Amino acid sequence: MHTTEQLSGGPDVADLTIDVRNLTRVEGEGSLHLQVRDGVVESARLEIFEAPRYFERLVVGRTMDEVIDIVTRICGICPVAYQMTAVHAAEAAFGIDVDPAVAALRRLFYCGEWIESHALHLYLLHLPDFLGYPSALDLARDHRSAVEGGLRLKRAGNHIVATIGGRAIHPVSVRVGGFSRILRRDEIRALRADLEEALGLAEATIDLVATLQPPTFRRDMRLVALRDPSAYPMNHGRIVSNDGIDLAADAWESLFDEHQVAWSHALQAHAPDGRPYLLGPAARVTLDGDRLHPRAAAALDRLGLADEIAHEPHWSIAARAIELVHAVAEAIDIVEAYEPPLEAAVAWRPRAGRAAWATEAPRGMLFQRFDLDEGGCVTDARIVPPTSQNQAAIEADLAAFAPTVLERPRAEVTHLMEQLIRSYDPCISCATHFLDVQVEELS
Amino acid sequence: MTLAAATSGRTAVPARPRIAIVKFASCDGCQLTLLDLEDELLAIAERIDLVEFAEATSQRSSGPYDVLFVEGSVSTPEQAEEIVRLRAASTLLVTIGACATSGGIQALRNWADHDLVRAAVYPDPTMVDSLATATPIADHVAVDAEIRGCPISPAQLREFVTALLVGRRPGLPDEAVCAECKRRNIVCVAVARGITCLGPVTRTGCGALCPAYGRGCYGCFGPRESANGPGLARWLERDLPPADVARAFALFNAWSPPFRTVIDEAGGPPGPIDGRPTPEASDAHH
């Protein structure tokens, strides 16, 4: 569990190996391996060695309500994303129409997770890189009010999740057909004060981001996100890309596939043309910018970084800031309009079939598919988290970025590579789960 | 060293302890709980040296540590070696959460035939290191204290850290969820609504969260001291077939002995995660 940084080669950086064991300020356990020979990047790998936990097997034999409770445990940072994807998949398979108030609450729930997760990443994990600190706790010694503001923003997100789900991590109330109890109007309205403050903090985050000076690295990347007919994508949408992909969310497996590679306990996902793709806030802001809440759209106009967000991975921090404004502003709208449903959950009966759905986790699109028997129990499952889909794109970016900085002192090269990895907000705990793998032959 | 000794003010834990937080197989949620103490995090950080916490800081230390918080269960050969090294480097070792304390949800694979799981999962199993079992930290090294829950509760973590810093014994109650449920005046979901609830055998700490949200306790804080798992199972079996009773126990603390006994009596957890026949569940949906 210590950092070993192995550096070799002469000052001309003709040959260079950088190994950072156990990357910091990411969720879960991963390493960076970069190999340069004769000045050419030979390999750039995000190595994922988080211990496998076999979730697709653990859900076999379980009901979809049990699946909601189990898949939540894949990730402590984005439990809502796992619950939302599973519950929507189940309701689609069982032909359930939920109460509009339940649908609104679920969107509010997702806003809460985006706020919590984005504030965590932006202030506690990512911002220290831009300002030259090893952690947000060190950053707080010199910039206490900024870090305190980030923590209050994060708290506002957790407050939403805990109100609807009982607690911030692994909430308990999501059930097939609705929730386990009716959320009263006064409980939801009580979020209002926190969210009013959070909106100011989110807009202040935009101003903070505008002062940052990330390293320059520009490239064209295939971006993939959900697209909803009217809303910014969270719980619903078709899968679209900036190069023409357009398919139903439950049809992920008809286009994409996963492969095992030797250096990762996460499967890497690929499109049939083999071209990597990137999910997450930058993809969403780029592909769904016209669906942003007016407050967030105005913030993006003011910030003026839409082109950078689409082409420069370091500017993902700006996309996260925009989505913070969006999620807080939309949460306020939902809180204002909320009227409780008539019943906590609608009655339903299980049936055999295939339950498949995708939602937008904070880090990008999350796909789940469950094959169900007549009793509604799982016979087979596939779970494809955003980070395992992003892994190939991250590696492609590392390979493209490395040659532009190799002349610099090696400690700086290492730091720059780590900073680039952190800009994708990789969730390595999520990524490791895998099953039904195909071996990719490596030369 | 016991926790009582460590927190009695007569110990080697200094006023400004060197603290490390590490993880094994887990979801990161329990260590995230420290960062979820939004109102106290910066104040706590001023009182401790957080020398190893990969999720939050790039500063690293391989030890020694005054207090080591461990999240996650031991699931790979490397982890089985690493926990021994970490134990030797630490004065106090505290497990945080169900994975570290009882194996976690991934311990469901402990009932499966590992060779069958491997064959079902990997075309090339040599590419992945995985032990046949996911086991609690206490199966490998001595543990000084446990903070329970899936995930741990922010209030209990705050209480533990506060007690540590002021040198007193932490107040982590061992009573059943039922006791807290009664104090909150929640109508019993098991008696009034016939909902399967593990409250009688589960340690409190959540605030009787699930009954407060209209569902039965699903045991995420694990068994309380001297929990009678089979006793509750017999009571539940008045209305449910044994396989359905067992599935209620077969979640995040399935491998803890009082819950494991119930699952074993029913022939194992629902499954089959390794492709073998599974015990019959007459009506899985209730």
Q: Which residues of A touch B281 (CB under 8 A)?
A: 61, 375, 377
Tell me the pLDDT tens digit for each residue of B157-167: 999 999 999 99
Task: Say if B63 is an interface residue toward chain A (CB within 8 Å).
Answer: no
pLDDT band at B280, cuts 50/70/90? very low
Nearest-Cα residue of chain A relative to residue B76? A51
Say if residue B120's pLDDT is above 90. no
Q: How far is the alpha carbon of B253 from chain A, nearest alpha carbon, in Å?
A: 12
Tell me the pLDDT tens digit for each residue of B91-104: 999 999 999 999 99
pLDDT band at B119, cuts 50/70/90? low
Task: Say if B189 is an interface residue toward chain A (CB within 8 Å).
Answer: no
Enumerate the H helices of A60-219 as residue ranges. Answer: 64-71, 79-94, 100-119, 127-131, 136-142, 144-165, 185-189, 192-210
Task: Say if A74 is an interface residue toward chain B (CB within 8 Å).
Answer: yes
A196 touches A364 (CB < 8 A) = no
Regarding predicted confidence, which is higher, A422 or A36?
A: A422
What is the distance, to the nearest Å, from the Cα of residue A219 to the centroid of all Cα atoms in its chain? 21
CA dihedral A298, A118, A216, A390 (to 10 degrees): -120
| pLDDT reported for residue A11 | 46
| Mean pLDDT in residue range A253-275 | 76
- Give residues with Cβ within 8 angstroms of A378, minimum separation 6: A59, A60, A61, A62, A64, A67, A370, A371, A372
Average pLDDT along chain A: 90
Say which of A1, A58, A172 has its CB closest to residue B62. A1
> Between chain A and chain B, how many beta carbons pairs sit less than 8 Å apart?
220
Enter the pTM of the model.
Answer: 0.93
Regarding predicted confidence, which is higher, A291 or B63?
A: A291
Verify whether the Cβ–Cβ distance B123 to A439 is below 8 Å: yes
Percent of chain A clearing pLDDT 90 (strictly above): 74
Task: Say if A439 is an interface residue toward chain B (CB within 8 Å).
Answer: yes
Tell me the pLDDT tens digit for each residue of A154-178: 999 999 999 999 999 999 999 999 9
Q: Which residues of A touch B24 (CB under 8 A)?
A: 51
Q: How far is the alpha carbon of A78 from chain B, nearest alpha carbon, in Å?
A: 9
| Mean pLDDT in residue range A270-297 | 94
A255 touches A245 (CB < 8 A) = yes
Say if residue A196's pLDDT is above 70. yes
| Mean pLDDT in residue range A23-38 | 82
Distance CA A392, CA A398 (A): 10
| DSSP strands (E only) in chain B | 18-23, 49-53, 65-71, 90-96, 145-147
Say which of B23, B59, B212 has its CB closest to residue A135. B59
| pLDDT reported for residue A6 | 41
| pLDDT reported for residue A432 | 58
Say if residue B248's pLDDT is above 50. yes
Distance CA B187, CA B182 (A): 8
Average pLDDT along chain B: 89
- Give residues with Cβ within 8 angstroms of B83, minimum separation 6: B24, B70, B74, B137, B140, B141
Task: Say if B113 is an interface residue toward chain A (CB within 8 Å).
Answer: no
Residues A175-191: b if buried by 16+ CB within 10 A, e if exposed: bbbbbbebbeeeebeeb
| pLDDT reported for residue B275 | 67
β-bridge partners, B25: B73
Reported ipTM? 0.93
Say which of B30, B42, B82 has its CB closest to residue A147. B42
Say if residue B286's pLDDT is above 90. no
Say if residue A286's pLDDT is above 90. yes
| pLDDT reported for residue B285 | 39
A134-143's contacts with Cβ under 8 Å and 24+ in sequence apart are: A134/B57, A134/B58, A134/B59, A135/A25, A135/B50, A135/B56, A135/B57, A135/B58, A135/B59, A136/B56, A137/B41, A137/B42, A137/B45, A137/B50, A137/B56, A137/B57, A138/B57, A138/B59, A140/B42, A140/B45
| pLDDT reported for residue A345 | 98
Say if residue B274's pLDDT is above 80. no
| pLDDT reported for residue B122 | 62
Q: Tell which residue, A16, A120, A28, has the closest CA to residue A75.
A: A28
Say if residue A262's pLDDT is above 90. no
Task: Say if A47 is an interface residue toward chain B (CB within 8 Å).
Answer: no
| pLDDT reported for residue A430 | 67
Regarding predicted confidence, which is higher, A1 or A131?
A: A131
Q: Tell which residue, A362, A426, A75, A55, has the closest CA to residue B26.
A: A75
Interface of A with B in 162-201 (CB under 8 A): 165-170, 172-173, 175, 180-181
